Structure 1
Amino acid sequence: MRILTCLTCVVLACAAPAAAQMSVTTIGATDAANCYENARSDFSRSTEPCDKALKDAGLSISDRKKTLVNRGVIHNRNGDLGAALEDFNEAIEMDAALGEAYLNRGNSYYLAQRFDDAMADYERALDIGVGKPWAAWYNIGLVYEAKKQPDKAREAYEEALSANPDFTQAQQKLEG
């Protein structure tokens, strides 16, 4: 996959069983790049650069789908899961092999406590080669924790560490 990605931990103030999933953002150009920066920042809540980029008739298809993913990440952060799902679904319609869209749509489902749907999307992201597989494995671990399956959660966190030995969030889960 040629999509440049950046991993960011999104801490959401929701009533979900675990408040942090791993999100994967993608980078685009111009206003799309500003959208990417907002999605990458755990503190930014503004979709304005994304909205502006998506109104640009000259935005490439590649940048459009990346911008949709990034805006969806911000919508998730804001708790607007319906808008996030719309963005991720549109990105998936444009490119069914966009692992980042599946991973982040999984986060929407996770936040909505639709754990089976979240798991299916995290697994799909892995199957098609998401750029940061440890993020998907970490999120799978969170789903197993929410479903009160600690042994499976541990296995998922170990997979995350296998994919990225420096991944501190998974290490902390295994130590905790």
Structure 2
Amino acid sequence: MPNLRQVFCSVALLMLFPNTSMAQLSVTTIGATEASACYQDASSSLTHDTGNCDTALRGGDLMRGDQKKTLVNRGVILNRAGAFEDARADFDAAIAIDDNLAEAYLNRGNSFYLAQQFDAALADYDRALALAITKPWAAWYNIGLVYEAIKKPDMARKAFQNALNANPEFTQAQQKLEKLR
């Protein structure tokens, strides 16, 4: 069972579009036992239903720390379902609770990326890095995807290399680098 203090518990590859260049990395967080089903849903790339998250948030008994984590998890699911504005609202609410929550910035960046708002996505990914996100390769990988989408292959290569430098075992970054060579 993950430690409740561990904010960044997993990286899940979201496949929202059939084009692999549209996949970005997301992060989920674990909350109290009432929110654990929401965490599990956010960790599964197959789940598009926010029911468990909605129930946990409606319960009103979540501590603020668990509330912000549950908001991030619901936002991840909403991104996966294509509800980018609703997802951003959840990430904004989590940031309002804790403006140093790097995972909220990374995932809000994904909302912007998926909505093709690339400047806003880059700003949020940069903020996640500035806040020392636990797994920086996720942010660097997503930055590479943005640069790839806006046809800046040199910058994309640098970002994917940064992702690989942060995690030499990160095969998705290696694959992107090979593709861009």
Task: Quote the Cα distance in structure 2 between the aligned partners of 1:164 and 1:52.
Answer: 36
> Could you say which residue in structure 2 is the equivalent of 1:40?
43
CA shift digits 1:72-108 (9 cap, x unpaired): 0000000001110100000001100000000000000
Shift of 1:18: 2.6
User: CA shift at 1:31, angstroms?
Assistant: 2.9
Say yes or no: does 1:72 pair with 2:80.
Answer: no
**Which AA in structure 2 matches 1:7?**
V
Matched, 1:23 2:21: no
Which amino acid is 1:18 matched to? S
- CA RMSD of the aligned region, Å? 1.5
Report what 2:162 is aligned to. Answer: 159
Instruction: Give the counterpart letter for 1:8 in structure 2.
Output: A
Q: Which residue of 2 aligns with 1:58?
A: 61
Secondary structure of 1:11's counterpart equals coil
Quick check: 1:101 aligned with 2:104?
Answer: yes
| Aligned-residue offset at 1:4 | 3.9
Partner SS state of residue 7, structure 1:
strand
CA distance in 1, matches of 2:87, 2:12: 17
Residue of structure 2 equivalent to 1:149: 152
- Give the superposition deviation at 1:129: 1.1
Aligned mate of 2:16, from 7, 12, 17:
12
Other structure's SS at 1:18 match: helix
The percent identity for this pair of structures is: 57
Match of 2:92 in 1: 89
TM-score w.r.t. length of structure 1: 0.96
Using the size of structure 2 for normalisation, the TM-score is 0.93
Does the 8 Å CA contact 2:28/2:103 hold for their aligned counterparts? yes
Structure 1: 4+ residue segments shifted above 3 A:
none
Q: Equivalent residue of 1:166, what SS?
A: coil
Which residue of structure 1 lines up, in the alignment, with residue 172 of structure 2?
A: 169
